[in-house]
Amino acid sequence: LAKTTQPISMDSYEGQEVNITCSHNNIATNDYITWYQQFPSQGPRFIIQGYKTKVTNEVASLFIPADRKSSTLSLPRVSLSDTAVYYCLVGDPNTGNQFYFGTGTSLTVIP
Amino acid sequence: EAGVTQFPSHSVIEKGQTVTLRCDPISGHDNLYWYRRVMGKEIKFLLHFVKESKQDESGMPNNRFLAERTGGTYSTLKVQPAELEDSGVYFCASSVGLAGGLVSDTQYFGPGTRLTVL
């Protein structure tokens, strides 16, 4: 079971790029890395998913080194509305078993 | 396209009572998952359905919890009898699954049901 470790909290000013790193030393061969964003009183919302190297979509980029023991979510030019908790989730989506949520990183964007 | 929906959004019951939570996955999604977050703790996996079959229920805390997925569509999670420590937010998620022919699969979460046991 791949356990994840993230910083508990981060602060950033509006307009800056934010990088949140997740450690997953026990990641298995078939595990994918998925990042979610969660606002208070809402369910986690999918941001991005990757297996290795770099993945980019319209809202974020995900960097995964060759050993896959960590991953970094990059949010370009954050705004106040990006204030939320960000979770790194590691698991095998093709079996769907025992996905593990870490403690999450509480990001606060400052005006 | 409608997302994952959960009902009720909030339930307050007394210890010893029974509560049933419902989850309607995204249409066409074979996989359905239940998670919960107890106050101050991390979100934890409870169980996983593939269509109507339980793929993995190793996260279920005890036999007071019963999950079903009738006909591979919506799912219910019954807690009977409820205890104080069952209070928390119960999330449901769904994904397309292997039948979608995808290399990887993404879980989409509902808004959660907040359960308070008094």
Higher pLDDT, A8 or B1: A8
Strand-strand pairing, B10-13 and B19-24: unpaired
Instruction: List per-residue pLDDT tens for chain B, 118 residues long.
Output: 679 999 999 999 999 999 999 999 999 898 899 999 998 788 888 999 989 999 888 889 889 999 999 888 999 999 999 999 999 999 999 988 765 555 567 889 999 999 999 9
Note whether A42 contacts B: Cβ–Cβ < 8 A: yes
What's the gap in Å between the CA of B87 and the closest CA on chain A?
15
pLDDT tens for each residue of B21-54? 999 999 989 889 999 999 878 888 899 998 999 9
Q: Which of A41, A87, A99 sits opposite B45 (nearest CB)?
A: A99
Of the pLDDT bands very low, low, confident and very high (cuts 50, 70, 90), residue A63 is very high
In the numeric block, which tokens belong to residue B94?
A: 């769904």
CB spacing of A42 vs B111 below 8 angstroms: yes
Biggest alpha carbon–alpha carbon distance for chain A: 42
The mean pLDDT value for A15-41 works out to: 92
Strand-strand pairing, A9-13 and A105-110: parallel
Integer Cα distance of A82 and B36 in angstroms:
24
